[in-house]
Amino acid sequence: MSLIVMKFGGTSVGDIDRIKNAARKVVAEIQRGHKVAVVVSAMAGATDQLIGYCRSISPRYDQREHDAVVSTGEQVSSGLMALALQQRGLNARSWQGWQVGVHTDATHGKARIADIDAIKLRKSIDAGEIGVVAGFQGVADDGRITTLGRGGSDTSAVALAVALKADRCDIYTDVDGVYTTDPRICEKARKMKCVSYEEMLELASLGAKVLQVRSVEMAMRYRMPVQVLSTFANEIGSDLPGTLVAEGNKTMEENPVTGIAHTRDEAQITLTGIEDKPGMAAKIFGPLARAGINVDMIVQTASSNGVTDLSFTVSKLDADRAVKVLDDEKKAIGFEKLASLREMSKISLVGIGMRNHVGVAATMFETLAAKGINILVIETSEINTSVLISDEYTELALRSLHTAYGLDKA
Amino acid sequence: MSLIVMKFGGTSVGDIDRIKNAARKVVAEIQRGHKVAVVVSAMAGATDQLIGYCRSISPRYDQREHDAVVSTGEQVSSGLMALALQQRGLNARSWQGWQVGVHTDATHGKARIADIDAIKLRKSIDAGEIGVVAGFQGVADDGRITTLGRGGSDTSAVALAVALKADRCDIYTDVDGVYTTDPRICEKARKMKCVSYEEMLELASLGAKVLQVRSVEMAMRYRMPVQVLSTFANEIGSDLPGTLVAEGNKTMEENPVTGIAHTRDEAQITLTGIEDKPGMAAKIFGPLARAGINVDMIVQTASSNGVTDLSFTVSKLDADRAVKVLDDEKKAIGFEKLASLREMSKISLVGIGMRNHVGVAATMFETLAAKGINILVIETSEINTSVLISDEYTELALRSLHTAYGLDKA
């Protein structure tokens, strides 16, 4: 008898009918003979409404009170899910973060889970109860409610699966798995049956929105198998209908590229004519960090006559502020010219197989060149190769690369 | 330095602007040099919406899950009130029932407070913080959230005032005090400056909706002064602008009648031709009690030839069921005829002074007779005299009695 943690996101519990539908998924697992713990997000829209209340009282609200207010979203859906399960004849009860013992640090609004004292919950499950746990929330040492930040319910679910020593954590969402690339852009995209933790982490970090990065990190650290699957599809007979994120050794001899991720809304900022001497990077990136601006890809051209150029990317939303910060520091940095390009896109190939294959990047450059797509920045790591291109080529690049790496549907 | 508990009802925190307005009332008390604990209800409408969610999943829902869901209403308003107070420069924080230590029995949905362990809260208040406590909720011994039932926030506030050894509990609502009678019916109704616990308890039990009966019982038991006042009025300079419910010895030599309450929606049921022997009342009222029907006024006529008539009142909403229950028991009871009158109204004079005055009831009967109003049932206790009349005379009766007992505005 396996123990499975089933997590339902905001759209999956978006209204009463959807909560009832999600309850049917739980019934199906119970009928397969599994024990189940359920983790729920807030009903879609509830969290935004609650944050809106806080903002309309004070734009810079106390995060501790924000957490007390916003955590009610999951409290409501946990109670309603327990009722929906009872209505289907199951023995179910809700558990709030503080009732389970989801202990977090005191970083309200984006707390990190320290440990979960799941003994009471595990006993209740072993006694035949279905525990419905409010996701996204925990309790700090001082007894105050914390929230884990956006997407935190995925992390709650994986952490709970680890604490309960569950056999698997199933993340029910509005897509039916992880695809080789965005299926809304590339109709030949294939749903993957399996993807390794490492690949999933890269895909999530590089723009695939299906799983929250923190939850993948946690799954990888504790080797907890995670399945991504749809709340709305009616799979019958299939035991693992979604995408399983698990140990990755099976893909060693397979295609070097597993999937292609992308992020739009990138901006590139280039400083030209800066002196090539130690300490320059600190002068440039220090003020940006203090302004809370995340910098992503960084490239520096080879120095010529002691002078060099430096390019990096930031989110398009931060571009104006970044330009202003650097202009204010122009004297201190001593650059000649500042140029910025908006409407950029980052395309990333991800695959464990890259470690053992040569020529993966070369195929990328050739494919993009053949379509007349200019590459502005290149960045590589052990299992990903990313390029920055003009946003208008995003769809063309994704489709061409998908075909070039043999990822199209059979 | 006094400690005052300030309780704001659902309409007083009905939207963000009203929460901000209520926060101004707290600021005013702080500026007068008082320490303050705040108790809040859910934003008006929130509780009904949450109950609606539960009902739409299951008409006979689990009360424990109902409590988990519904208690979020007060959790939200406690967080928002704390934010509104912070926004005005005060040091405030929210406390949920389980965080304070509001221990209740496990009668979910209508739990009773067993004790409040207010040590942590009191320390926080003494350290200069304003505690904003979610009303209506507590925690059972097993760690699950309970709610106190409708109007429970008044009870939370008085209980908290007792536990904190507060000097006074102020109940902010949408009326500015307790009136000698319903001011919507009788324009000469006067706001009382002071009313005794005993009188307030009778008034609340007999139809005055301004305070919840349980909260008055608790205030009386612990001799906690309670002030009823308006959230929306702008009283300046007055220290006790509302009605103070407190020890009642001051009214001993005053008007024998303090106020006139009424309840509409009464129905009278009369059984004629029943045998006058021991055990009859049990045969009649036993089945009604088992059907959950509350019986109020009961009168029995003097026996003639061993046969008597019996009349009693029930809520109009229960009248059909009561008639059916009695018809089913007709053989066992052995009555001749059953008659019912709907659209009845109960008018009650309340006053501690009645104890020491003669002729109070006589004035009532004369006044009503002079207006041609027929009295169907009379009931008296030490400090109230109630009559049942046809509902259509309610307004006329209230106004005539108000004048007859010298309660009109000067």
pLDDT one-digit tens code per residue, A235-259: 655 677 899 999 875 544 567 899 9
Tell me which amino acid residue B398 is: L
A270 forms beta bridges with: A311, A339
Residue B152 has pLDDT above 80, yes or no: yes
Q: For residue A52, what is the nearest residue in chain B, using CA coordinates?
A: B16
**Which of B68, B98, B143 comes nearest A79 by C-beta?**
B68
* Distance of alpha carbon B406 from the chain centroid: 25
For residue A87, which residues of chain B lie inside 8 Å, CB to CB?
A: 57-58
Three-class DSSP category at A307:
strand
Mutate: best of B20, B49, B76, partner A, most A CBs <10 A:
B76
Q: Which helix (H) or strand (E) holds B266?
A: strand B259-275
Residue B237 has pLDDT above 70, yes or no: no
Region A317-333: mean pLDDT is: 94
Tokens at B381, concatenated: 């206790």
Q: Do A53 and B16 touch (CB under 8 A)?
A: yes
Which amino acid is present at A113?
I
B66–A94 C-beta distance less than 8 A:
no
CATH number of the A3-174 domain = 3.40.1160.10
The answer to whether the CB atoms of B69 and A58 lie below 8 A apart is no
Min CA distance, B155 vs chain A (Å)?
23
Q: What is the mean pLDDT of residues B10-31?
A: 96
Chain-chain contact of A54 with B80 (C-beta, under 8 angstroms): yes
The three-state secondary structure class of B180 is coil
Lowest-pLDDT range, A257-266, A297-306, B37-46? Answer: A297-306
What does residue B36 show for φ and ψ, rounded to 5 degrees? -140, 135
Q: What is the pLDDT of residue B368?
A: 95
Are B68 and A96 within 8 A, CB to CB? yes
Is B72 close to A68, i.e. CB distance below 8 A? Answer: no
What number is the average pLDDT over the span A357-369? 89
B54 with A96: Cβ contact below 8 A = no
Confidence of residue A60 (pLDDT cuts 50, 70, 90): confident
What's residue A252's pLDDT? 46
Q: Which of these CATH numbers, 3.40.50.2020, 1.10.10.10, 3.30.1330.120, 3.40.1160.10, describes B3-249?
A: 3.40.1160.10
Per-residue confidence (pLDDT) for residue B238, from 0 to 100: 64
The answer to whether the CB atoms of B99 and A61 lie below 8 A apart is no
Alpha helices in A140-193 (DSSP H): 152-163
Contact status, residue A224 vs residue A169, Cβ threshold 8 Å: yes
Q: Chain A: nearest CA to B197, how far in angstroms?
A: 36
pLDDT at B252: 46
Tokens 């009788």 map to which residue?
Answer: B186
Kindly list the residues from chain B whose CB atom is less than 8 angstroms away from the CB atom of residue A93: 64-65
At residue B235 the predicted structure's pLDDT band, cuts being 50, 70 and 90, is low
| Contact yes or no for A78/A94 (Cβ under 8 A) | yes
Cα nearest neighbour of B60 on chain A: A87
Which of A151-165, A299-313, B288-302, B344-358 reaches the highest mean pLDDT? A151-165
pLDDT value, residue B77: 98
Residue A249 has a pLDDT of: 59
Chain B residue numbers with beta carbons less than 8 Å from the beta carbon of A144 are: 99
Cα distances (Å, whole numbers) of residue B287 to B311, B328, B333: 16, 10, 11
Measured between CA atoms, the residue of chain A closest to residue B88 is A58
Distance (Å, whole) CA B226 – CA B220: 10
Measure in Å the smallest separation between the Cα of B63 and chain A Cα atoms. 10
How do residues B63-81 score in pLDDT, each as one tens digit?
999 999 999 999 999 999 9
**Interface mutation target, options B80, B93, B123, chain A, most CBs of A under 10 Å:** B80
The predicted model gives B48-67 an average pLDDT of: 94
Segment B365-409, tens digit of pLDDT = 999 999 999 999 998 888 899 999 999 999 999 999 999 999 997
| Closest-approach residue (CA) in chain B for A84 | B57
Please report, to the nearest 10 degrees, the dihedral formed by the alpha carbons of residues A231, A237, A243, A246 taken in order: 120
Q: For residue A354, name the pLDDT band (cuts at 50, 70, 90).
A: confident
**A43 to chain B: nearest residue by CA?**
B53
What's the CA gap between A111 and A64, in Å, rounded? 11
Main-chain dihedrals φ then ψ at residue B382, nearest 5 degrees: -60, -40
Residue A400 binned pLDDT confidence (cut-offs 50, 70, 90): very high
Average pLDDT over chain B reads: 92
Cβ separation of A16 and B65 shorter than 8 Å? no
What pLDDT was estimated at residue B185?
A: 94
Buried-exposed string A249-265: b where 16+ CB fall within 10 A, e elsewhere: eebeeeebbbbbbbbeb
Task: State the pLDDT at residue B401.
Answer: 96
Percent of chain B, pLDDT > 90? 78
Quick check: A76 pLDDT over 90?
Answer: yes
Whether A58 and B83 lie within 8 Å, measured CB to CB: yes
Cβ <8 Å between B98 and A98: yes
CB contact under 8 A, A80 and B19: no
**Residue A128 amino acid letter:** G
Contact B56 A16 (CB under 8 A): yes
List residues in chain B touching A: CB distance below 8 A: 16, 19-20, 50, 53-54, 56-58, 61-62, 64-66, 68-69, 71-72, 75-76, 78-80, 82-84, 86-87, 93-94, 96, 98-99, 143-145
Q: What is the pLDDT of residues A90-128, one digit of tens each?
A: 999 999 999 999 999 999 999 999 999 999 999 999 999
Is A54 within 8 Å of B86 when comparing Cβ atoms? Answer: no
Q: What is the pLDDT of residue A276?
A: 85
What are the structural domain ranges in chain A? Answer: 3-174, 260-404
Chain A contacts of B133, Cβ < 8 Å? none
Whether pLDDT at A63 is above 90 = yes
- Is residue A151 scored above 60 in pLDDT? yes
- The CATH number of the domain covering residues in A260-404: 3.30.2130.10
Question: What residues are paired with B39 via a beta bridge?
Answer: B7, B133
Q: Do B53 and A84 touch (CB under 8 A)?
A: no
- In the predicted model, what is the mean pLDDT of residues A328-340? 93
